[in-house]
Amino acid sequence: MALLLEKHDIQAIVAEVGLAELMDRVIDHLAEDFGRWEGFDKSPRTANHYPHGVIELMPISNEDWYSFKYVTGHPRNPLDGKLTVAAFGALAEASSGYPVMVSEMTLLTAIRTAATSVFAARLLARPDSRTMALIGTGCQAEFQSYAFHHSFGIDTVRFYDVDPDACRKFARNMAGHPLRLVRCDSIDEACEGADIVSTVTADKANRTVVGRKHLIPGRHFNGVGGDCPGKTELASDMLADLKIAVEYEPQSRIEGEIQALPADTPVTELWQVLNGTAPVRTSDEDMTLFDSVGFAIEDFSVLRCIYGIANDGDFGRRSTLVFAPDDPKDLYSELAVPALPKRVAAM
């Protein structure tokens, strides 16, 4: 029977392990999985597009495990009290195809996205980066700040959002954390002196959140919010100046900032940076971009990580969402619950 993890179970796991420790563990799992990249059966996620959003399925597998995530991206959802990004997913054993865990993944996506940003920044940004500009203080903002502080060494976050309420929410949530917070009145102000610029906006459109004027030698751009056809954050005329790494080229061509580039422009995948075959940053002057769209391997990593914790710590509950009957060739008898014979007889 598959383990079922709902919101309160993930809350309990974070409370038990601690968010900082959990981020580190997810990063470790990311490093392990990106390190065995070629052993995965990969494909771009499937997307069903609606006027106001998209629903995506993100499957991936290696010889031992299979995972998928269901995720919605509906930027107008907050107007109805719902999240722009909400998700759930499953981890399954390859040998039988049976899920071993079905889990909420809204919180897990926020965690793995931030963990992936840090994982990429370790490969792409100057290691002495200490100041981060954060453009967009929606749901992902605290996770980015938390992860970059704890797992990278950022000590100052300069933040800006078009929505003052979102800025206040962010400041309130991060109060008490050992992180210097500087609220800014514009993108330009937020970028002043930033070693890393993280863009985490939600609008489904081609926006120029940052442009050529934000190109500063040595700067690393962590582009998180552009993740859909027609949804980008960087001015296309700055891309040629950046050394770019993506997660998975076939998907990023469709969804990433690089959708603005000719399809034959060479790009580097993150795993190639990790294994040393294609370094991206070769000097402190290089300007780099992690063109993040979110790839299935990151969900695979976080699900593996959480499954280990949940199994060891007895979190969640056993579910019959997927089940094995007493006789694997006898599914029909599963319907022979007490009330059934009467109904059938009365037919």
Residue 107's Cα: distance from chain center in Å?
A: 10
Q: Which is nearer to its own copies, 284 or 321 (CB)?
A: 321
Q: Given the complex with its own copies, which of 114 and 238 has the nearer CB atom? A: 114
Residue numbers 48-67 binding its own copies by CB under 8 A: 48-50, 52-55, 57, 59-61, 63, 66
Contact status, residue 242 vs residue 217, Cβ threshold 8 Å: no
Least distance to its own copies from the beta carbon of 263, Å? 22
Contact letters (x/-) for its own copies, 74-113, by CB under 8 A? x--xx-xxxxx-xxx-x-x-xxxxxx--xxx-xx--x---
Q: Which amino acid does the sequence have at 190?
A: A
Contact between 315 and its own copies by CB under 8 A: the answer reads no
Round to whole Å and give the CA distance between 262 and 259.
8
Q: Choose between 35 and 341: whose C-beta lies nearer to its own copies.
A: 341
- Return the structure tokens found at 284: 């402190």
Work out which of 3, 4, 115, 293 binds its own copies, going by CB under 8 A.
Answer: 4
* Nearest-angstrom CA–CA distance, 213 and 39: 41
- What's the min distance (Å) between Cβ of 272 and its own copies? 23
Q: Which stretch binds its own copies (CB under 8 A): 126-134, 252-260, 266-274, 319-327?
A: 319-327
For residue 190 the two structure tokens come to: 């937020």
- Coil vs helix vs strand at 331: coil
Of 252, 338, 304, nearest in space to 90 by CA: 304
Q: Which two tokens stand for residue 115?
A: 């963990």
Please report whether residue 314 would count as binding its own copies according to CB under 8 A.
no
In angstroms, give the least distance from the CB of 189 to its own copies. Answer: 21
- Give min distance, CB of 88 to its own copies, in A: 5
By CB under 8 A, what part of segment 140-199 binds its own copies? 140-143, 150, 163, 165-166, 169, 173, 177
Distance (Å, rounded) from C-alpha 334 to C-alpha 332? 5
> In the bound complex, what is the minimum distance in angstroms from residue 300's beta carbon to its own copies?
12
HSE at residue 132, side-chain half, CA atoms within 13 A, is: 32
Q: What are phi and psi of 266, to 5 degrees?
A: -65, 140
Tokens, residue 150 = 């704890």
Q: Does 20 bind its own copies (CB under 8 A)?
A: yes
Query: Both tokens of residue 252?
Result: 């990023």
The interface with its own copies within residues 237-256 (CB under 8 A) comprises none
- Spatial separation of the C-alpha atoms in residues 224 and 293, rounded to whole Å: 6
Q: Which residue lies nearer to its own copies by CB, 170 or 244?
A: 170
Strands 243-246, 268-269: pairing kind? parallel
Give the active site residue among 33, 227, 286, 299: 227
**Closer residue to its own copies (CB): 6 or 249:** 6
Contact pattern from residue 110 through residue 129 relative to its own copies, giving x for each residue in contact according to CB under 8 A and a dash for the rest: x-------------------
Q: What is the CA radius of gyration of the chain?
A: 22
237 is catalytic: no
The yes or no reply on residue 347 touching its own copies (CB under 8 A) is yes
How do the residues of the chain divide into helix, strand and coil, expressed in percent and rounded to 5? 40, 25, 35
**Least Å from the CB of residue 170 to its own copies:** 8
* The binder of its own copies chosen from 162, 171, 205, 340 (CB under 8 A): 340
Which residues are designated catalytic? Answer: 227
